[in-house]
């Protein structure tokens, strides 16, 4: 029987040579099943490719039917943002610690790949955010994020002040360490540690989560994913905007940060037995018996 995917790209965790054994084991397994295997060039620089074709992300987008990421959530974020324009679906093998987006455990990797190649999986779309920074009439920075866009105080030790508007309507002035704007995917990341809500991936919403607000009445709020959020930094403050913790831009007073749902999305492939709530129970240790000390 022909595999469900003819060409599969392998992407490894950044600067993690310990993935070499798992990655080469997976590459050999896929080749034995009649799959054409590609190895992302940064991964190959780190762990080698053992004769498999070495390709760029652009080439993966053009040639691959699927990308398998060996790493943690950070590795999945990088791959998702770089492949967002190509519609290449992603599967994650957890080589990290927590792994909300990497479904397959390293020890179960080959069993999971067998099911995948037999078409035993279910797909799920996750939307991204488009973010831009405008200074006067000029757009100085543009990027995308799968998890979150964060405006924070950067290297400064003091709070920043900014105005927040949604769809052109002024919402509030806030004095805080910053603001997280999170997708449902990102609701279990930085936003969760800041007491934001967990949003199921099917929820069409964007969470706004203040970071250590001066006023305790500044609470997290979820708005429609059709919303356009704008943040204007007040004088004399300086700040920084981050996208998925991987891209950043230094903000000056008066800069306008605009965030909205992107027209692009990422498709994750999950094992047939995947359950979002089961994943939360495992990762967040829900329902465990309390320890006694």
Question: How confident is the model over 90-98, as a mean pLDDT?
Answer: 81
Fold of 7-119: Rossmann fold (3.40.50)
Cα–Cα distance between 267 and 79 in angstroms, integer? 12
Same topology, domains 7-119 and 128-263? Answer is no
SS3 33: coil
What are the tens digits of pLDDT across the range 24-51? Answer: 999 999 999 999 999 999 999 988 888 9
For 90, left (φ over 0), alpha (ψ -120 to 50), or beta?
beta
What are the tens digits of pLDDT across the range 66-79? Answer: 999 998 888 999 99
| Residue range 128-263 in CATH 2.60.200.30 | yes
Domain boundaries, the chain: 7-119, 128-263
pLDDT at 290 over 70: no
What are the tens digits of pLDDT across the range 49-63? Answer: 889 999 999 999 999
Cα–Cα distance between 31 and 8 in angstroms, integer? 10
Question: How confident is the model over 229-244, as a mean pLDDT?
Answer: 96
Percentage of the residues of the chain whose pLDDT score is greater than 70: 97
What are the tens digits of pLDDT across the range 117-176? Answer: 999 999 999 999 999 999 999 999 999 999 999 999 988 778 999 999 999 999 999 999
Lowest pLDDT segment from 100-109, 125-134, 195-204, 206-215:
100-109
What are the tens digits of pLDDT across the range 8-29? Answer: 999 998 777 778 888 999 999 9
Whole-number pLDDT of residue 132:
98
Whole-number pLDDT of residue 47:
86
Average pLDDT, the chain: 92
Whole-number pLDDT of residue 146:
96
Which are the catalytic amino acids? 73
First to last CA, the chain: 56
Percentage of the residues of the chain whose pLDDT score is greater than 90: 74
69, 9 in Cβ contact below 8 A? Answer: no
């Amino acid at each position: 029987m022909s595999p469900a995917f003819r060409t599969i790209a392998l992407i490894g965790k950044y600067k993690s040579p310990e993935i070499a054994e798992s990655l080469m084991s997976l590459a050999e397994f896929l080749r034995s099943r009649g799959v054409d295997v590609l190895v992302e060039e940064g991964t190959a620089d780190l762990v080698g490719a053992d004769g498999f074709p070495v390709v760029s992300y652009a080439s993966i987008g053009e040639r691959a039917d699927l990308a398998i990421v060996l790493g943690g959530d950070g590795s999945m974020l990088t791959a998702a943002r770089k492949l967002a324009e190509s519609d290449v679906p992603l599967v994650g093998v957890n080589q990290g610690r927590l792994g909300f987006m990497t479904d397959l455990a390293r020890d179960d990797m080959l069993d999971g790949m067998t099911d995948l190649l037999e078409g035993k999986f279910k797909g799920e779309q996750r939307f991204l955010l488009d973010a831009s920074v405008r200074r006067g009439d000029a757009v100085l920075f543009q990027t995308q994020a799968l998890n979150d866009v964060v405006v924070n105080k950067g290297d400064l030790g003091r709070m920043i002040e900014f105005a927040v508007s949604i769809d052109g309507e002024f919402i509030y002035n806030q004095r805080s360490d910053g603001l997280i704007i999170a997708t449902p995917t990102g609701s279990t990341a930085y936003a969760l540690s800041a007491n934001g809500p967990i949003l199921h991936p099917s929820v069409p919403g964007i969470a706004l989560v203040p970071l250590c607000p001066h006023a305790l009445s500044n609470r997290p709020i979820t708005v429609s994913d059709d919303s356009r959020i704008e943040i204007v930094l007040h004088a004399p403050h300086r700040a920084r905007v981050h996208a998925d913790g991987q891209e950043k831009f230094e903000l000056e007073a008066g800069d306008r940060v605009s965030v909205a749902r992107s027209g692009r999305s990422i498709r994750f492939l999950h094992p047939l037995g995947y359950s979002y709530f089961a994943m939360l129970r495992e990762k967040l240790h829900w329902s465990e018996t309390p320890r006694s000390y």
